[in-house]
Amino acid sequence: MPTEQLQKLALGLFMPNCSNMPSISTHRVVKDQWTYEHNESLALAAESYGFEYLFPVSRWRGFGGETNFLGTSLETTTWAAALLRATSSINVFSTVHIPLFHPFVVAKMGATLSHMSGNRWGLNVVSGWSEREFGMMGISLAEHTRRYERTSCFIEILKKLWSAEDQPFNYECDWYSVSGGQASPVPEVPPMIANAGVSEDAKNMTARLCDWAFISTPSIDVVGSIIDDIALKAQVFGRSVKTAIFPFLIWGESRVEAEDRLASIISEKDEVATANWLHDLTAGSGSFDVFTSDMLAASGGGVHMVGSAADVAEQLIEAHRAGVNAVMLTFPEYLDDLHRFAKEIQPTLTEAGCIAAN
Ligand SMILES: Cc1cc2nc3c(=O)[nH]c(=O)nc-3n(C[C@H](O)[C@H](O)[C@H](O)COP(=O)(O)O)c2cc1C
């Protein structure tokens, strides 16, 4: 579709609330990117540049090796509470592992965060996949389809707990037994719900119950077909779902300079952590089968956008044309790169009609 007929692309950040985000590499690591202070500076800068979304990563344990990739992390509901109070217009999501929380707890946290923030909070659900983390807690990982069945039940309960008209209610499933379920306050506006995942199970669940599909794609060439598939599945339920991806942006004076930078990140890949990441992430999933270890090492699973500033702008415009609604950007050096992005790439996107003027 021509750019001018599309809804504008929304900008967001996939935040570095965990150590070593986003690369599984020892190359030029910014040591304290994960700290709250750094996250708040980023959030305020992003908001000033007209960004609309902040998504965090939820992690409970690192992935070993020299980097212990994502091993130090800030919990995402408490993180969101502080950021929502520090900012005034940007939407902040929390990422929640379904098997680790009871839906009543998440409903209450979500209602609280919504009331605290003028309805700027959203929930990103993850169904769990890391044996490393769950095993450490003595929790077993269910088979893939069952994970999403549980997530569906969780969201159904959540929606009732966020809707006064639906209360009190009873709900029975393999995981939860609710009798006379009620919660107050309910949010003034139902919080946005995103699902992070891209398997058939994930897409089916997202189509029925979520507002956003937060997906990984190996290239922009294939993202359109993933989006069309989710749209078709959602149509069955008379719904539409928006799609967000998380590109990893590297740009320089020239394409060669940017490619060299990417090559340096990959050449200093943390082999142990990358292998652990790949092992857990791909178990039972299928969603990352075409990702090479080098692709994952550079971005954790985000699509690479590399080249001159003009090249990267063009790739973002391509993603928009393919139907992507939002990009949760990741950068090697978040704060510096965000300022550079606003100066060197954002104006091209505005001129092209891809994003709204700030
Ligand atoms: C964009 C995106 C963000 C994700 N964020 C997290 C996260 O913060 N924590 C987590 O444990 N898993 C996260 N995941 C992993 C997913 O929850 C999921 O387990 C993985 O994509 C495999 O699921 P699938 O087989 O349904 O695609 C994320 C996945 C994607 C695509």
Please give the number of the atom of ligand 1 that sits closest to the Cα of 244: 1
Query: Residue 48 and residue 287: Cα distance in Å, rounded?
Result: 35
pLDDT band at 337 (very low <50, low <70, confident <90, very high): very high
- Note the pLDDT tens digit of each residue in 208-233: 999 999 999 999 999 999 999 999 99
For 203-207, what is the mean pLDDT?
98
Query: Residue 185 and residue 183: Cα distance in Å, rounded?
Result: 6
- Note the pLDDT tens digit of each residue in 278-299: 988 877 777 888 888 999 999 9
Instruction: Please give the radius of gyration of the chain, using alpha carbons only, rounded to the nearest integer.
Output: 20
Cβ–Cβ under 8 Å, residues 247 and 315: yes
User: What pLDDT, on the 0 to 100 scale, is given for residue 64?
Assistant: 97
Q: Which residue has the CA at smallest separation from atom 18 of ligand 1?
A: 197
Check whether 5 has a pLDDT greater than 80.
no
pLDDT over 70 for what percent of the chain? 99
Check whether 71 has a pLDDT greater than 70.
yes
Query: Residue 294 and residue 176: Cα distance in Å, rounded?
Result: 41
User: What pLDDT, on the 0 to 100 scale, is given for residue 280?
Assistant: 86
Nearest to 161 by CA among 184, 177, 179: 184
Global confidence as pTM: 0.97
Q: How many angstroms does the Cα of residue 253 sit away from the middle of ligand 1? A: 33
Q: How many angstroms does the Cα of residue 181 sit away from the middle of ligand 1? A: 29
Alpha helices in the chain, H assignment, sequence order = 36-48, 76-86, 103-117, 131-136, 144-161, 200-209, 220-235, 255-267, 271-282, 293-299, 309-321, 334-344, 346-351
Check whether 277 has a pLDDT greater than 90.
yes
Is residue 126 lining ligand 1, measured as CB closer than 6 Å? yes
Please give the number of the atom of ligand 1 that sits closest to the Cα of 97: 11
* 113 backbone φψ class: left, alpha, beta (φ>0; ψ -120 to 50): alpha
User: What pLDDT, on the 0 to 100 scale, is given for residue 247?
Assistant: 98
Is residue 198 lining ligand 1, measured as CB closer than 6 Å? yes
User: What pLDDT, on the 0 to 100 scale, is given for residue 4?
Assistant: 67
Q: Which of 127, 129, 245, when mutated, tests ligand 1's pocket best, judged by the most ligand atoms within 8 Å of its CB?
A: 129
User: What pLDDT, on the 0 to 100 scale, is given for residue 2?
Assistant: 64
Check whether 10 has a pLDDT greater than 70.
yes
> Could you give the 3-state DSSP secondary structure of residue 308?
strand
Please tell me the class of the 3-157+185-351 domain: alpha beta
Lowest mean pLDDT among 119-128, 253-262, 288-297: 288-297
pLDDT, mean over the chain? 96
User: What pLDDT, on the 0 to 100 scale, is given for residue 288?
Assistant: 83
- Biggest CA-to-CA distance, the chain: 63
Q: How many angstroms does the Cα of residue 171 sit away from the middle of ligand 1? A: 27
